[in-house]
A and B are shown apart, each in its own frame.
Chain A
Amino acid sequence: MRRIALIGLAAGFIAVSTAVAAPPFATRSDNGKTLRVPAAESSAGKVYYALSGKDRQIYFESDAPLEDIKGQSNQVVGYAVAGRGSDEASLIGGEWHLPVDSMRTGIKLRDEHLAGGDWLNAKSFPNIVFQIHEVRDVRSVKKTAAFRSYSATLVGEMTVHGVTSPIEISGATLTFLDASKATASVAPGDLLSIRASLSVTLSEFGISHPVIGNKVADEIAIDVSLFLSTVSP
């Protein structure tokens, strides 16, 4: 009887810890081109949606002694909720999903390995997820009639390979561009550009492989360049 109770307790603990380890993620919209914005966030600020499928959004580089690997993707979907009025750079929230199998390194077999079970395991963990919870150290950099640019620290969580880790990205640039005749010819709505550089450590996210350290670096440098619009794709 005691054994059954202990097993039940262990199972419950595992279930709870699994639920805590994987934060609830936003789901895709009906057309699959963006994410559903939680009602609490969308009502608190101005929603900008990532413009996917156009310019390169993510660029990553692994600089190891035996090999240099570069890759990129333009399939990031997601949103950012800007603050109201002059507090626009203090994002209320945001979430972006990068499909693992959308990353391209220029070599087909390498792309398959990257998404395979030995590495990012796209089958079990189809997306790399970044969620913003807070923006700190907001500083106005440049302001003209056409746009407002800020530097800030983005604070949130990153989930890679099923492992969630807190992350802080300093020196991010947020640039707001209001809709005009010039912008309408390229993309509808008010526009937002988010640029940031960060690095992630593969071992921190439970990714291990014998070649890490000689052919693949443990620390991967990432450049983020997102363009978002108030018009949902």
Chain B
Amino acid sequence: MTSRKRTMAYGVCGLAVVASLAAFAATGAKPYSRHEDEALSAMNEESGLGDLFSDAGDVSGADEAAIVPSVYAFGLLPSGPGIDSLSVATFSGPAVAAAAGLFLLGRRKKKQEKMPAAATQAAAEAG
């Protein structure tokens, strides 16, 4: 592989890593990927019952804010098969592995090119 092609390949791998990290940050930086859940969305809709009691003066539930949000998140790790497998790890992992492989291959080639040159020099010195 020419050095130009190698540089382009490194660029694509780098882009994949940056894009997946950007998606991770933009969707809430969750540890696991997740998608919207209809049942959760329905639960989080206010039916008006809480308001009835708070309007009447009951504030025992006023500070109750904990809910499980129904949101999409491109997580650090996959959370299951299929579409849930899309995550930073599954998207940029192969890119990092490919870049590492290219680097190691490049070093091996350089080593092999140096060896014949070294052997010729050694023969010349002996002769």
Q: Which residues of A approach B to under 8 Å, CB–CB?
A: 51, 54-56, 59, 61, 67, 70-74, 102, 104-110, 141-142, 144, 146-147, 149, 173, 175, 177, 182-183, 185-187, 191, 193, 195, 223, 225, 227
Contact = CB atoms under 8 A, between A and B. Distances in A.
B61 interface: yes
Interface bin, chain B? 35 or more
A147 B53 contact: yes
A108 B84 contact: yes
Nearest to A67: B31
21 contacts: A51-B49, A56-B43, A70-B66, A74-B42, A104-B43, A105-B68, A106-B68, A107-B79, A107-B84, A108-B79, A108-B80, A142-B57, A144-B56, A144-B57, A147-B56, A149-B60, A173-B60, A175-B58, A186-B47, A186-B52, A227-B50
Q: Which 4 pairs between the two chains have the least Cβ-Cβ distance?
A: A109-B80, A54-B47, A146-B56, A173-B60
Contact of B53 (A71, A110, A193): A193
B66 A59 contact: yes
B67 A72 contact: yes
A149 B58 contact: yes
Interface in B57-78: 57-58, 60-61, 64, 66-71
Contacts of A187: 49, 52
B62 to A, nearest CB: 11
Contacts, number: 107
Chain B interface, DSSP helix/strand/loop, else mixed: loop
B27 interface: no
A61 B66 contact: yes
Contacts of B113: none
A191 B43 contact: no
A187 B43 CA distance: 17
A18 B84 CA distance: 41
Contacts of A146: 56-57
B88 to A, nearest CB: 16
Contacts of A102: 39
B47 A55 contact: yes
